[in-house]
A and B are shown apart, each in its own frame.
Chain A
Amino acid sequence: MVTAFSLSKGLTTLSGLLLLSFGSLAASQIEDQAEQFFRSGHTNNWAVLVCTSRFWFNYRHVANTLSVYRSVKRLGIPDSHIVLMLADDMACNPRNPKPATVFSHKNMELNVYGDDVEVDYRSYEVTVENFLRVLTGRIPPSTPRSKRLLSDDRSNILIYMTGHGGNGFLKFQDSEEITNIELADAFEQMWQKRRYNELLFIIDTCQGASMYERFYSPNIMALASSQVGEDSLSHQPDPAIGVHLMDRYTFYVLEFLEEINPASQTNMNDLFQVCPRSLCVSTPGHRTDLFQRDPKNVLITDFFGSVRKVEITTETISLQPDLEIMESRDKKDWMDEELMEPLKYAEQLPVAQIIHQVYLISENFHLNHCSTC
Chain B
Amino acid sequence: MVLPRSLLAQGDHVLVCVIFLLFFQDTMSYIGPERTAVVRGFTHREAFNIVGRRVIQVAQAMSLTEDVLAAALADHLPEDKWSSDKRRPLKSSLGYEITFSLLNPDPKSHDVHWDIEGAVRRYVQPFLSALSAAGNFSVDSQILYYTVLGVNPRFDPASSSYYLAAHSLPHVINPVESRLGSSAASLYPVLNFLLYVPELAHSPLYIQDKDGAPVATNAFHSPRWGGIMVYNVDSKAYNASELPVRVEVDMVRVMEVFLAQLRLLFGIAQPQMPLKSLFSGPKSEGLTTWELDRLLWARSVENVATATTTLTSLAQLLGKISNIVIKDDVASEVYRAVAAVQKAAEELASGRLASAFIASQAAVTSSERAFFDPSLLHLLYFPDDQKFVISSL
A and B: interacting chains = yes
The residues of A with any CB-CB pair to B shorter than 8 Å are 33, 36-37, 39, 41, 43-44, 76-80, 128-129, 132-133, 136-140, 145-146, 152-154, 179, 181-182, 185, 189, 192-194, 262-263, 292, 306-319, 321, 323-331, 333, 335, 338-339, 341, 343-346
Q: In the bound complex, do residue A318 and residue B256 qualify as a contact, i.e. CB atoms below 8 Å apart?
A: yes
Q: Give 7 closest A-B pairs by Cβ, nearest first.
A: A192-B313, A80-B183, A76-B174, A328-B273, A316-B256, A313-B219, A310-B169
Q: Judge whether B387 is part of the interface by a CB distance below 8 angstroms.
A: no
* Residues in chain B near residue A262, CB distance under 8 A: 171, 174
CA of A324 to CA of B284 in the docked complex: distance in angstroms? 10
Given A41-B79, A313-B217, residue A140 in contact with residue B264 (CB < 8 A)? no
CA of A34 to CA of B173 in the docked complex: distance in angstroms? 26
Q: In the bound complex, do residue B280 and residue A325 qualify as a contact, i.e. CB atoms below 8 Å apart?
A: yes
Q: Judge whether B335 is part of the interface by a CB distance below 8 angstroms.
A: no
15 more CB-based (< 8 A) A-B contacts, given A192-B317, A193-B313, A194-B75: A78-B177, A78-B178, A129-B379, A152-B91, A154-B224, A194-B309, A262-B171, A311-B84, A313-B217, A313-B220, A313-B229, A313-B257, A317-B281, A319-B252, A329-B275
A-contacting 9-mer, from B106-114, B154-162, B370-378? B370-378
Q: In the bound complex, do residue A318 and residue B281 qualify as a contact, i.e. CB atoms below 8 Å apart?
A: yes
CA of A111 to CA of B175 in the docked complex: distance in angstroms? 22
Q: In the bound complex, do residue B187 and residue A145 qualify as a contact, i.e. CB atoms below 8 Å apart?
A: yes
Q: In the bound complex, do residue B277 and residue A310 qualify as a contact, i.e. CB atoms below 8 Å apart?
A: no
Shortest beta-carbon distance, B50 to chain A, in Å?
6
Shortest beta-carbon distance, B292 to chain A, in Å?
14
CA of A39 to CA of B378 in the docked complex: distance in angstroms? 36
Shortest beta-carbon distance, B176 to chain A, in Å?
10
Shortest beta-carbon distance, A148 to chain B, in Å?
9
Mark B360-393 against chain A: 1 for CB-CB distance below 8 A, else 0: 0000000000011110111110010110000000
19 A–B pairs (Cβ distance < 8 Å), ordered by A: A43-B87, A43-B224, A78-B174, A132-B379, A133-B377, A153-B91, A179-B383, A192-B317, A311-B84, A313-B227, A313-B260, A316-B260, A317-B256, A317-B260, A325-B279, A326-B273, A328-B274, A338-B46, A338-B50
Which of B84, B183, B383 is in CB contact (< 8 Å) with A146? B183
A44, A185, A313, A345: residue with the most chain B Cβ atoms closer than 10 Å: A313
Shortest beta-carbon distance, A312 to chain B, in Å?
5
* Residues in chain B near residue A133, CB distance under 8 A: 374, 377
* Residues in chain B near residue A154, CB distance under 8 A: 87, 224
Q: Judge whether B123 is part of the interface by a CB distance below 8 angstroms.
A: yes
* Residues in chain A near residue B275, CB distance under 8 A: 328-329, 331, 333
Mark B23-57 against chain A: 1 for CB-CB distance below 8 A, else 0: 00001100000000000001110100010011000
Which of B216, B227, B280, B379 is in CB contact (< 8 Å) with A128? B379
Q: In the bound complex, do residue B207 and residue A312 qualify as a contact, i.e. CB atoms below 8 Å apart?
A: yes
Mark B267-309 against chain A: 1 for CB-CB distance below 8 A, else 0: 0001001111111111010100000000000000000000001
Shortest beta-carbon distance, B86 to chain A, in Å?
9
Which of B182, B183, B184, B281 is in CB contact (< 8 Å) with A326? B281
CA of A73 to CA of B355 in the docked complex: distance in angstroms? 45
Q: In the bound complex, do residue A39 and residue B166 qualify as a contact, i.e. CB atoms below 8 Å apart?
A: no
CA of A292 to CA of B78 in the docked complex: distance in angstroms? 12
A43, A185, A326, A333: residue with the most chain B Cβ atoms closer than 10 Å: A326
Q: In the bound complex, do residue B374 and residue A145 qualify as a contact, i.e. CB atoms below 8 Å apart?
A: no
Interface residues on B, range: 35 or more
Which of B215, B286, B310 is in CB contact (< 8 Å) with A312? B215
Q: In the bound complex, do residue B379 and residue A315 qualify as a contact, i.e. CB atoms below 8 Å apart?
A: no
Q: In the bound complex, do residue A324 and residue B220 qualify as a contact, i.e. CB atoms below 8 Å apart?
A: no
Q: Judge whether B148 is part of the interface by a CB distance below 8 angstroms.
A: no
Q: Judge whether B203 is part of the interface by a CB distance below 8 angstroms.
A: no
CA of A271 to CA of B310 in the docked complex: distance in angstroms? 36
* Residues in chain A near residue B207, CB distance under 8 A: 312
Q: Judge whether B116 is part of the interface by a CB distance below 8 angstroms.
A: no
Q: In the bound complex, do residue A311 and residue B222 qualify as a contact, i.e. CB atoms below 8 Å apart?
A: yes
* Residues in chain A near residue B374, CB distance under 8 A: 133, 138-140
Which of B220, B286, B385 is in CB contact (< 8 Å) with A179? B385
Nearest-neighbor residue (CB-CB) of A339 within chain B: B44
How many residue pairs, one in A and one in B, have C-beta atoms under 8 Å apart? Answer: 199
Shortest beta-carbon distance, A349 to chain B, in Å?
13
CA of A323 to CA of B227 in the docked complex: distance in angstroms? 26
Q: In the bound complex, do residue A324 and residue B280 qualify as a contact, i.e. CB atoms below 8 Å apart?
A: yes
Which of B219, B273, B377 is in CB contact (< 8 Å) with A136? B377
Nearest-neighbor residue (CB-CB) of A316 within chain B: B256
Q: In the bound complex, do residue A328 and residue B276 qualify as a contact, i.e. CB atoms below 8 Å apart?
A: yes
Shortest beta-carbon distance, B303 to chain A, in Å?
14
Q: Judge whether B145 is part of the interface by a CB distance below 8 angstroms.
A: no
Q: In the bound complex, do residue B278 and residue A319 qualify as a contact, i.e. CB atoms below 8 Å apart?
A: no
Which of B175, B256, B372 is in CB contact (< 8 Å) with A319? B256
Shortest beta-carbon distance, B130 to chain A, in Å?
12
CA of A262 to CA of B217 in the docked complex: distance in angstroms? 27
B257, B275, B316: residue with the most chain A Cβ atoms closer than 10 Å: B275
Q: In the bound complex, do residue A309 and residue B279 qualify as a contact, i.e. CB atoms below 8 Å apart?
A: no
Shortest beta-carbon distance, B265 to chain A, in Å?
10
CA of A128 to CA of B276 in the docked complex: distance in angstroms? 64
Q: Judge whether B64 is part of the interface by a CB distance below 8 angstroms.
A: no
Given A78-B178, A193-B310, residue A346 in contact with residue B43 (CB < 8 A)? yes
Q: In the bound complex, do residue A313 and residue B264 qualify as a contact, i.e. CB atoms below 8 Å apart?
A: yes
B44, B84, B281, B379: residue with the most chain A Cβ atoms closer than 10 Å: B379
CA of A145 to CA of B184 in the docked complex: distance in angstroms? 8
Which of A189, A194, A311, A319 is in CB contact (< 8 Å) with B286? A319
* Residues in chain B near residue A331, CB distance under 8 A: 275
Shortest beta-carbon distance, A105 to chain B, in Å?
26
Q: Judge whether B223 is part of the interface by a CB distance below 8 angstroms.
A: yes
Nearest-neighbor residue (CB-CB) of A145 within chain B: B183
B46, B53, B321, B371: residue with the most chain A Cβ atoms closer than 10 Å: B371
CA of A33 to CA of B84 in the docked complex: distance in angstroms? 12
Q: Judge whether B259 is part of the interface by a CB distance below 8 angstroms.
A: yes
Mark B241-270 against chain A: 1 for CB-CB distance below 8 A, else 0: 000000000001001110111011000001
* Residues in chain B near residue A314, CB distance under 8 A: 215-217
CA of A335 to CA of B51 in the docked complex: distance in angstroms? 10
Chain B 42-92 interface residues, beta-carbon cutoff 8 Å to A: 42-44, 46, 50, 53-54, 75, 79, 81-82, 84, 87-88, 91
